[in-house]
Amino acid sequence: MAKFKIIVSDPETGKSQAVEVEGAQAVPLVGRKLGEVIDGSAVDMSGYKLRITGGSDKDGFPMRPNVHGGVRVSVILSEGVGFHPSRDGERQRKTLRGNVITEEIVQINMKVVEKPKKKEKKEKKKKREKKTGGESAEKAAQTT
């Protein structure tokens, strides 16, 4: 069975957390592509929407969005994921993994796209109404 280490990053806070998924919980991720938005319940983060941004396979080869399929290939690169040139015009042959998640993938990177809607605001408003005798603070200010 598949076992993934999923790194979920939140661009708003700049923090990330690691979640390990294996067995039946990992099955919905197999076959997904880079750039797809999935429901967070697949990684125990219900209510969140997550975008798959990258990953690497069991030997450390990175996934690249423009290499189609779940295969490992050697391609000539001039820039981007998997190769950062030190000189202008430099190109190099690098081994990369395709953009589809397979069982050989070990690590998956995701980013939070949408957070769950908070119910705390409604609860705070109800507490405020109870304190002012059934009216909100704004309505009480208007009547006086």
* Percentage of residues of the chain with pLDDT beyond 70: 82
Pairing verdict, β 105-114 and 3-10: parallel
pTM score, two decimals? 0.76
- The pLDDT of residue 76 is 94
Domain ranges of the chain: 3-143
Question: What is the pLDDT confidence band of residue 133, given thresholds at 50, 70 and 90?
Answer: low
| Rounded CA separation 109/89 (Å) | 29
Residue 59 · residue 96 · CB < 8 Å: no
Q: Could you tell me how many helices (H) and strands (E) the chain has, helices first?
A: 2, 7
Please give the average per-residue pLDDT across 47-71, as a whole number.
93
